[in-house]
Amino acid sequence: MVMPLRKMKVNQRGRIMAVNANGELGRRIRDMGLVPGTDVMIVGRAPLRDPVAIRLKGFTMTLRNSEADYIMVETEN
């Protein structure tokens, strides 16, 4: 099932299908290794539910929900 990264639940895993951001945001996302084909897992969310922390390629990073909207993920069931 394909959904935006924002919709994923904590501990859920998936594989990035597409990153639809361009410009500075797109570049920063790609620089961190969020490119299609990458496996990700939601580590947690900040106390106010936003930003979201994710795990990929052996490290942990965080981005805002509004930024996670641009990332489409195919999730396991």
Partner 1 sequence: MSRVITVAVAGQPNSGKSTMFNAITGAAARVGNYPGITVERLEGTYRFNNHHIKLIDLPGTYSLTSYSPEEIVARNVIIDERPDVVINMVDASSLERSLYLAIQLLEMGVPTVIGLNMMDEVRRKGIRIDSQKLSEALGAPVVECVARIGVGKHQLMEAAVQLSERSKGTWKPLVFSYGHDLDPVISEMVKKIEASRFMTDRYPARWIAVKYLEDDESIIKQGDEAGPLSQELKAMVQEVRRHTDKTLHTYPEALIADYRYGFINSILRRGILTRTQDLRLDASDQIDRVVTHRVMGPVLMLMVLWLMFYITFHLGSYPQSLMEKGFGLLGSAIGYLVRPGMLQSLLVKGVVDGVGAVLSFTPLILIMFAMLVFLEDLGYMARIAYMLDRVFRVFGLHGASAMPFIMSGGIPGGCAVPGVMCSRTLRSPRERLATIFTAPFMVCGAKTTAYIILTAAFFPNYPSLVMLFLVILAWAVALVTARLLRWTVIKGPSTPFVMELPPYRLPTFRGVAIHTWDRVRQFVTKAGTLIFGISVIMWALMTFPQLPAETAGRFDQEIQRIKEQVETSDRGEKTADEASQQELQARLQELEARRNEAALRHSIAGRIGSGLEPISRLAGFPWQVNIALIGAFAAKEVFVSTMATAYSMNETAPEENFSLSQRLASDPAYTLPVILSLFVFILFYAPCMATLITIVRESSWSWALFVLLGSIGFAYALSVCVYQAGTLLLG
Considering beta carbons, is residue 1 or 47 the nearer one to partner 1? 47
Q: How far is the CB of 74 from partner 1 (least distance, A)?
A: 15
Considering beta carbons, is residue 3 or 25 the nearer one to partner 1? 25
Of 4-63, which residues contact partner 1 (CB under 8 A)? 13, 18-19, 22, 24-33, 35-41, 43-44, 46-51, 53, 55-63
Which CA distances in Å does 27 have to 11, 22, 61? 26, 7, 15
Return the closest-CA partner of residue 68 out of 2, 7, 1: 7
Residue 15: how many other CB atoms lie within 10 Å: 14
